[in-house]
């Protein structure tokens, strides 16, 4: 996107967030893989702004709602929200700028705070709004039964998208169908529906001014807390201190190791759908652990 265009959108966003001062600096930063991200400085404050040229319906709205629900738990820190737009060609999300240096306590605090977040429960699993995982649609519903939600709305929905994309077919498809039929062997029916980050990998937390961790870029839903922890382990990057601190506050259940690969499978299927066959082997390895034809 052209800087002029970005500056115009930044002005709109800042005004709706009630900063009427002048923009002094805008510069691109190395962002995530999906959006263009910028540092914005005005006379009054510093901001983080991200843009997407063709954001799908309610894309940044759903991120803004997730950030609000996480913040309302008063557990883990979340950047303050200023404004969003999902208008075609001018969609953006504007947040408070967070910057700081990691201390030796940062990851332990993150572990404790994530455990505290996970001790905040909703009434049902899932979510009332459809959301996104990356750019992929994540249809949602609120359901009392975790197994049913995870089967239909998580694995099932990625399977459906994979069939449409042509990346799930043949033996992979037949095995995945069989796995879904037998999912009750490993995935619990009734667990408490925790507030989840939903896209909890090491690129989605940052460090604030006092060395405290902030989580960003959620794909919010209510569900089994072990989903967030399973995804944190998939691509790595979290220290031993993180897991120790988490377990001190809210120990993982005995079924964690058995269910972990199935929760990781959801994210791997999403990666298969987004980035293609590079993720095929990891998907197949997990499916093969649980079923044979
Ligand atoms: N409020 C903030 N202040 C400073 N830096 C931030 C802030 N929010 C995010 N960042 C940085 O920008 C990067 C990209 O942000 P974010 O994860 O929201 O973008 P994305 O394109 O949606 O990412 P992804 O590839 O994970 O989907 C983050 O990894 C983080 O380093
Ligand atoms: Mg991110």
What are the tens digits of pLDDT across the range 65-106? 999 999 999 999 999 999 999 999 899 999 999 999 999 999
What are the tens digits of pLDDT across the range 252-282? 999 999 999 999 999 999 999 999 999 999 9
Residue 251 domain-assigned?
yes
Residue 255 CA: distances (Å) to CA of 108, 142, 258, 266, 291? 23, 24, 5, 18, 18
Q: Is the CB of 81 under 6 A from ligand 1?
A: no
Return d(Cα 17, Cα 14) in angstroms, integer.
5
Q: Are residues 91 and 177 in the same domain?
A: no
Q: Are residues 214 and 134 in the same domain?
A: yes
Mean pLDDT across 130-156? 97
Q: Is 199 noted as a catalytic residue in this protein? A: yes
Residue 48 domain-assigned?
yes
* Phi, psi (degrees; rounded to nearest 5) at 264: -70, -30
Q: Are residues 194 and 80 in the same domain?
A: no
Give helix 226-234 / helix 256-275 axis angle, nearest 10°. 60
Q: Are residues 188 and 83 in the same domain?
A: no
Sheet of 36-42, strands arranged across = 23-29, 36-42, 46-52, 91-96, 81-85
Residue 101 domain-assigned?
no
- Is 178 strand, coil or helix? helix
- pLDDT band with cut points at 50, 70 and 90 for residue 145: very high
Q: Which of 30-44, 143-157, 175-189, 278-292 has the lowest mean pLDDT?
A: 30-44
Q: What range does the domain containing 45 cover? A: 3-96
Q: Dihedral through CA 69, CA 75, CA 79, CA 85, nearest 10?
A: 0
Let me know: does 140 contact 131? Beta carbons within 8 Å: yes
* Phi, psi (degrees; rounded to nearest 5) at 180: -65, -40
Q: Is the CB of 204 under 6 A from ligand 1?
A: yes
How many A from CA of 228 to the centre of ligand 2?
Answer: 14
Q: Are residues 113 and 89 in the same domain?
A: no
- Is 128 strand, coil or helix? coil
- pLDDT band with cut points at 50, 70 and 90 for residue 171: very high
How many A from CA of 32 to the centre of ligand 1?
Answer: 6
**Structural domain ending residue among the three candidates 96, 123, 157:** 96
Please report, for the domain that includes residue 20, its CATH number: 3.30.200.20
Q: Are residues 223 and 133 in the same domain?
A: yes
**Sign of torsion, CA 173 271 130 201?**
positive
Q: Are residues 52 and 170 in the same domain?
A: no
* Residue located via tokens 């263009």: 36
Residue 246 has pLDDT above 90, yes or no: yes
> How many Cβ atoms are within 10 Å of 24's Cβ, its own excluded?
11
Residue 33 has pLDDT above 90, yes or no: no
Q: Are residues 19 and 134 in the same domain?
A: no
User: Biggest alpha carbon distance in the chain?
Assistant: 64
Q: Are residues 143 and 264 in the same domain?
A: yes
Q: Dihedral through CA 274, CA 276, CA 278, CA 284, nearest 10?
A: 100
The whole-chain average pLDDT of the chain stands at: 96
Q: Is the CB of 203 under 6 A from ligand 1?
A: yes
Question: Could you write out the DSSP letters of every residue in 65-78?
Answer: HHHHHHHHTTSSB-
Residue 182 has pLDDT above 90, yes or no: yes
Q: Is the CB of 35 under 6 A from ligand 1?
A: yes
**Structural domain ending residue among the three candidates 46, 78, 96:** 96
Q: Are residues 54 and 122 in the same domain?
A: no
Residue 76 domain-assigned?
yes
Q: Is the CB of 48 under 6 A from ligand 1?
A: yes
Please report, for the domain that includes residue 128, its CATH number: 3.90.1200.10
How many A from CA of 184 to the centre of ligand 1?
Answer: 36
Q: Which atom of ligand 1 is nearest to the CA of 134?
A: 27
* C-alpha closest to that of 218 among 243, 234, 239, 201: 201
pLDDT the model gives residue 3? 85
Total count of domains within the chain = 2
Residue 88 domain-assigned?
yes
Q: Are residues 65 and 168 in the same domain?
A: no
Q: Are residues 117 and 250 in the same domain?
A: yes
pLDDT the model gives residue 34? 85
Residue 71 domain-assigned?
yes
* C-alpha closest to that of 242 among 134, 104, 124, 117: 104
* C-alpha closest to that of 44 among 77, 61, 20, 68: 20
Mean pLDDT across 277-292? 98
* C-alpha closest to that of 153 among 133, 178, 182: 133
Q: Which atom of ligand 1 is nearest to the CA of 199?
A: 26
**Structural domain ending residue among the three candidates 62, 96, 130:** 96
């Amino acid at each position: 996107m052209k800087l002029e265009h970005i500056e115009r959108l930044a002005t709109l966003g800042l005004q709706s967030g009630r900063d009427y001062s002048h923009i002094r600096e805008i510069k691109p930063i190395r962002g995530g893989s999906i959006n263009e991200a910028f540092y914005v400085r005005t006379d009054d404050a510093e901001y983080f702004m991200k843009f997407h040229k063709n954001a799908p319906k309610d894309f940044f709205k759903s991120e803004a709602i997730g950030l609000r629900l996480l913040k309302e738990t008063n557990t883990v820190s979340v950047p303050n929200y200023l404004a969003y737009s999902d208008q075609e060609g001018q969609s953006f999300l504007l947040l408070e700028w967070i910057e700081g240096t990691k201390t030796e306590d940062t990851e332990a605090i993150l572990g404790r705070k994530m455990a505290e977040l996970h001790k905040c429960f909703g009434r049902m699993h899932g979510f009332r709004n459809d959301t996104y995982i990356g750019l992929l649609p994540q249809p949602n519903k609120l359901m009392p039964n975790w197994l049913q939600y995870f089967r239909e709305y998580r694995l099932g929905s990625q399977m459906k998208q994979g069939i449409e994309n042509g990346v799930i077919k043949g033996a992979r498809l037949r095995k995945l169908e069989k796995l879904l039929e037998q999912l009750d062997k490993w995935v619990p029916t009734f667990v408490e529906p925790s507030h989840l980050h939903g896209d909890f990998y090491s690129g989605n937390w940052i460090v604030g001014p006092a060395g405290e961790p902030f989580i960003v870029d959620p794909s919010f839903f209510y569900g089994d807390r072990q989903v967030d922890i399973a995804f944190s382990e998939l691509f790595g990057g979290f220290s031993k201190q993180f897991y120790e601190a988490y377990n001190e506050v809210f120990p993982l259940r005995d079924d964690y190791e058995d269910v972990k690969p199935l929760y990781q499978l959801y994210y791997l299927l999403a990666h298969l759908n987004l980035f293609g066959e590079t993720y095929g082997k990891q998907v197949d390895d997990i499916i093969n652990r649980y079923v044979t034809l």
